[in-house]
């Protein structure tokens, strides 16, 4: 039985956040969130008449307290640190500002408050440094996907499956999985793509089910499934996890803030913790790589909806189309050429390159193999 991915309240908050955007398509959002238009407009009406109500992010403390004392400010700082032990002075100050608290001290003063309260490990503070990474120019240009290392629960093992939007760092998928098999990943992907639409490209590592240990041209069934639906697939360099640096950083944050030393009964229990933390990460936690904005402010769902049915793919008039056999090979110029078992039963297009005698092989929009006619290959 599939796990529940988000709490009803977090779903309402996400819907309202996206629906309030100037270019929002309410009907499309209602379909993606599996609600009626009547329900969608009801949530919107509530958010407008009661902006501090349950549908929107609001502090449990008063937004403004006249005549704040130094002790009151320290209580705000230490209280938020108690809720989020992994947050530093920058995030705490920015979060308090986002919640509407005025007359806050400088970041250095917030840091002093944390130090005075014994809430910062001096050794950990020395190791902290900010960095700037390359990012895509717009949401949904690239998603990074990976499993975080599994951990034990009282009932077995949990394999957290995560996916992050490269531009906004918005977490589109956080699933407590029982295993790392193709069927499990595909089911999670379908739920996510129906909710947020289709990205242009997904980056993953070279392990199964999305890669084959870095063997060039050895595509998997999952990769072929994504390509057929219009998503480009790319893999990080073998043994270079920094290629997926944002995912690696997200996993460290997930471990520090959501997993830590907690004990989980089972995967549904882990999923409940993940759901609550995911809402905090996307909509409350200031992100240093975003100038202390929260990921939700930089993310919008893709305009490309998940295709529930697929029309036949049409190649160009100049393409030489071949069908891939069950052994992953296709016949071209009288010889069997290796394409990949992932494309068995599918049609591919062979196109010339700028190098004489070298041909590119495309499956739908993506180049998946090369045929070098200068190399003699026997029938196999």
Total domains present in the chain? 4
How far is the C-alpha of 257 from the C-alpha of 243, rounded, in Å? Answer: 23
Q: Are 175 and 223 in the same domain?
A: yes
How far is the C-alpha of 258 from the C-alpha of 224, rounded, in Å? Answer: 33
Four-residue CA torsion sign, 268, 300, 18, 227: negative
Given this model, what pLDDT does residue 300 score?
A: 94
Percentage of the residues of the chain whose pLDDT score is greater than 70? 81
Q: Collapsing DSSP states into helix, strand and coil, what is residue 78?
A: helix
Is pLDDT larger for residue 279 or for residue 123?
279
CATH number at residue 151: 3.30.420.10
Q: Are 20 and 156 in the same domain?
A: no
How far is the C-alpha of 26 from the C-alpha of 30, rounded, in Å? Answer: 6
At a CB cut-off of 8 Å and minimum separation 6, what does 46 contact?
A: 53, 55
pLDDT in tens, 9-58: 678 888 888 998 888 899 999 999 889 999 999 888 888 776 655 454 44
Given this model, what pLDDT does residue 212 score?
A: 61
Give this prediction's pTM.
Answer: 0.73
Query: Does 173 have pLDDT greater than 90?
Result: yes
Given this model, what pLDDT does residue 118 score?
A: 66
In a domain, 132, yes or no: no
Extended beta strands in 60-183, E state? 143-147, 151-153, 156-165, 171-177
b or e along 112-139 (b: 16 or more beta carbons within 10 Å of the residue's beta carbon)? bbbeeeeebeeeeeeeeeeeeeebbeeb
Q: Are 152 and 117 in the same domain?
A: no
Name beta bridge partners: 362: 349, 367
Query: Does 302 have pLDDT greater than 80?
Result: yes
pLDDT in tens, 227-241: 999 999 988 765 555
Least confident residue range of 108-122, 146-160, 221-235, 242-256: 108-122
- The single residue listed with the structure tokens 């809430």 is 119
CB atoms within 10 A of CB 254: 20
How far is the C-alpha of 282 from the C-alpha of 57, rounded, in Å? Answer: 11
Of the candidates 263, 141, 245, 148, the one whose C-alpha atom is nearest the C-alpha of residue 198 is 141
Given this model, what pLDDT does residue 168 score?
A: 94
At a CB cut-off of 8 Å and minimum separation 6, what does 144 contact?
A: 163, 164, 166, 202, 203, 204, 244, 246, 247
Q: Are 267 and 167 in the same domain?
A: yes
Q: Are 207 and 251 in the same domain?
A: yes
In a domain, 313, yes or no: no
Query: Does 307 have pLDDT greater than 90?
Result: yes
CA angle (34, 196, 313) in 5-degree steps: 100
Range of 71-85, 283-297, 323-337 with top mean pLDDT: 323-337
User: Using an 8 Å Cβ cutoff, are 363 and 233 in contact?
Assistant: no
Q: What is the largest CA-CA distance in the chain?
A: 86
Q: Are 227 and 285 in the same domain?
A: yes
Enclosing domain of residue 44: 8-49
The last residue of one of the domains, among 103, 127, 151, is: 127
Q: Are 178 and 254 in the same domain?
A: yes
User: Which of the four pLDDT bands, split at 50, 70 and 90, describes residue 209?
Assistant: confident
Q: Are 269 and 152 in the same domain?
A: yes
Bridging pattern class, strands 143-147 and 156-165: antiparallel
Show the tokens assigned to 54: 């349950």
Q: Are 246 and 188 in the same domain?
A: yes
Is pLDDT larger for residue 108 or for residue 198?
198
Q: Are 185 and 76 in the same domain?
A: no
Give the mean pLDDT of 122-149: 70
Q: How many CA atoms lie within 13 A of 149 on its CB side?
A: 5
In a domain, 380, yes or no: no
């Amino acid at each position: 039985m599939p796990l529940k991915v988000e709490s009803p309240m977090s779903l309402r908050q996400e819907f309202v956040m996206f629906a309030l955007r100037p270019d929002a398509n309410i009907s499309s959002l209602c379909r993606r969130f599996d609600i009626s238009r009547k329900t969608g407009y009801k949530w919107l009406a509530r958010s407008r008449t009661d902006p501090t109500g349950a549908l929107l992010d609001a502090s449990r403390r008063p937004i403004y307290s006249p005549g704040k004392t130094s002790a009151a400010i320290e209580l705000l700082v230490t209280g938020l640190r108690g809720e989020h032990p992994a947050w530093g002075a920058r995030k705490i100050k920015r979060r308090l500002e986002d919640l509407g608290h005025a007359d806050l001290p400088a970041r250095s003063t917030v840091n002093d408050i944390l130090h005075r309260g014994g809430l910062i490990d001096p050794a950990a503070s020395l190791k902290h440094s900010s960095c700037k990474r390359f990012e895509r120019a717009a949401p949904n240009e690239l998603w990074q996907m990976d499993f975080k290392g599994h951990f034990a629960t009282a009932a077995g093992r949990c394999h957290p499956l995560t996916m992050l939007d490269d531009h906004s760092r918005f977490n589109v998928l956080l699933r407590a999985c029982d295993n790392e098999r193709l069927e499990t990943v595909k089911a999670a992907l379908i739920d996510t793509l129906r909710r947020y639409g289709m990205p242009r490209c997904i980056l993953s590592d070279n392990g199964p089910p999305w890669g084959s240990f870095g063997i060039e041209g050895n595509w998997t069934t999952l990769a072929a499934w994504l390509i057929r639906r219009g998503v480009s697939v790319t893999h990080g360099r073998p043994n270079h996890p920094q290629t997926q640096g944002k995912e690696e950083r997200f996993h460290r944050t997930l471990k520090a803030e959501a997993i830590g030393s907690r004990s989980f009964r089972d995967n549904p229990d882990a999923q409940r913790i993940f759901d609550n933390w995911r809402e905090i990460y996307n909509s409350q936690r200031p992100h240093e790589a975003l100038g202390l904005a929260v990921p939700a402010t930089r993310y919008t769902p893709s305009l490309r909806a998940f295709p529930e049915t697929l029309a036949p793919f049409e190649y160009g008039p100049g393409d030489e189309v071949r069908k891939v056999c069950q052994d992953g090979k296709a016949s071209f110029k009288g010889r069997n050429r290796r394409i990949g078992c992932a494309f068995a039963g599918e049609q591919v297009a062979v196109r010339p390159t700028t190098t004489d005698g070298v041909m590119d092989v495309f499956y739908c929009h993506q180049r998946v193999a090369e045929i070098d006619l200068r190399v003699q290959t026997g029938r196999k």
